[in-house]
């Protein structure tokens, strides 16, 4: 039974929505506040730096793609 389900999943074509889904990155930026998470200044700074690095990385990828196709 599981083999049939696995084969159906493999046969299913991926849509554009699947390719451009934000997944965990989107969840990192747009998640709700969890009251059980520790409220520590070091953690807030770490997450802030991580968000900045993700944004800079995405901007660099956009720049490289634009430079490649529009030059």
pLDDT in tens, 34-69: 788 778 899 889 888 988 998 999 999 999 999 998
The predicted pLDDT at position 2 comes to 57
CA-CA distance, 47 to 53, in Å (whole number)? 10
Mean pLDDT of 4-28: 67
Confidence of residue 4 (pLDDT cuts 50, 70, 90): low
**Can you give the pLDDT at residue 60?**
96
| 36 vs 25, residue with greater confidence | 36
Residue 33's alpha-carbon distances to 28, 36, 47, 69, in angstroms, are 11, 9, 13, 40
- The boundaries of the domain holding residue 55 are 2-69
Count of domains forming the chain: 1
């Amino acid at each position: 039974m599981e083999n049939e389900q696995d084969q159906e999943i493999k046969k299913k074509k991926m849509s554009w929505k699947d390719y451009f889904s934000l997944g965990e990155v989107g969840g990192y930026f747009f998640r709700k506040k969890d009251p059980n998470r520790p409220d520590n200044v070091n953690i807030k700074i770490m997450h802030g730096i991580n968000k900045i690095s993700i944004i800079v990385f995405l901007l660099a990828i956009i720049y490289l793609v634009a430079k490649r196709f529009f030059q």
